[in-house]
Amino acid sequence: MDDIVARLTEINKRFGYIPRAQVEQLAKELRLPPARVFGAATFYSLFSDKPRGAHVVRFCEDAPCHVAGGRAVFDAIRAALGLEPGQTSADGRWTFEMTSCIGVCGVGPVMMVDDDVYGNVTAERVAEILNADR
């Protein structure tokens, strides 16, 4: 399973998502049924089977982050990006997604931009986080 996840991670980084043809190619290389590779590709929320923007913004929607003021941060992200969860901007720069707990609840509300995790986020910090050099 580690081999599958490592290879899917490479594919996801290269293409920004996991194209179906890559699933089938990987299954052939690993001599596994395509359904097994596809299952792994769809199990992990960090992988996507649809094209994404150049940068993926994720907001933690679980209760501890919500209680810590997450709603205001969520609204600020939506307004700054002009996107609803699951959408990609027309210029292909941003995709906005929700995520379940990423394990840093003590510093909620939490958001991610690509692999970078931001804690204690306030609505006022959202623009600064999104405008950081990428």
- Residue 31 has phi, psi (to 5 degrees) of 55, 50
- Closest contact distance (angstroms) between CB of 82 and ligand FES is 24
Is residue 110 a contact point for ligand FES (CB under 6 A)?
A: yes
Q: If binding means CB under 6 A, how many residues of this protein chain bind ligand FES?
A: 10
CA dihedral 23, 24, 29, 30 (to 10 degrees): 60
Q: How many residues does the chain have?
A: 134
Range in contact with ligand FES (rule: CB under 6 A) among 77-85, 89-97, 105-113, 122-130: 105-113
Is residue 46 a contact point for ligand FES (CB under 6 A)?
A: no
- Identify whether the C-beta of residue 81 lies closer than 8 Å to the C-beta of residue 58: no
Please tell me the distance from the alpha carbon of residue 73 to that of residue 121, in angstroms, as a whole number: 7
Please tell me the distance from the alpha carbon of residue 109 to that of residue 67, in angstroms, as a whole number: 8
Is residue 69 a contact point for ligand FES (CB under 6 A)?
A: no
Residue at token pair 């996991």: 18
Find the binder of ligand FES among 11, 26, 60, 83 (CB under 6 A).
Answer: 60
Pick 62 or 78: Cβ nearer ligand FES: 62
- Closest contact distance (angstroms) between CB of 98 and ligand FES is 11
Please tell me the distance from the alpha carbon of residue 75 to that of residue 77, in angstroms, as a whole number: 6
Is residue 62 a contact point for ligand FES (CB under 6 A)?
A: yes
Which residues form the interface with ligand FES (CB under 6 A)? 60, 62, 64-65, 101-102, 104-105, 108, 110
